[in-house]
Structure 1
Amino acid sequence: MDKIQAQALQVAKEIVVKFVETGRISPSNFTDHFSRIYLEVLRTISDHTPYPGAPSGASPQTSQDAD
């Protein structure tokens, strides 16, 4: 498993745990949701295209980018 896949797995786990805690996903249907969330997170962090509506070459500003 490469670094991006490991990061996607960790993020997906955190999202699913939060959804279970808030009642949006039940533990009994965890498997129905986890793989879709993981694949979407992996696709999102692997995608190097700008966010929708951004000018060419722009990317979302993160707290690390802001001074």
Structure 2
Amino acid sequence: ANMLGVRREGVTVAAGKLQENGYISYRRGHITVLDRVGLEAEVCECYDVVKKEFARLMSDVRQRQGSQ
């Protein structure tokens, strides 16, 4: 919740809905992804944007580490 800037209750509600749909298993702050394809289909388009940006940034880091 702190990392997302939201209240804990909001995370609990969202995780509960994802669990009801069978995408995750959620218990006491531990999350297990059960259906990654379904989960990715359920989330907003920003997930793909963030995933691509993360890959780009990590490739930059790996390139810099390889040149040291």
Query: Which TM-score band (shorter chain)?
Result: 0.3 to 0.5
TM-score normalised by structure 1 residue count: 0.33
Which one has the largest radius of gyration? 2
Q: Name the structure, 1 or 2, with higher relative contact order (CA <8 Å, separation 6+).
A: 1
TM-score normalised by structure 2 residue count: 0.33
Q: Which one has the bigger strand percentage?
A: 2
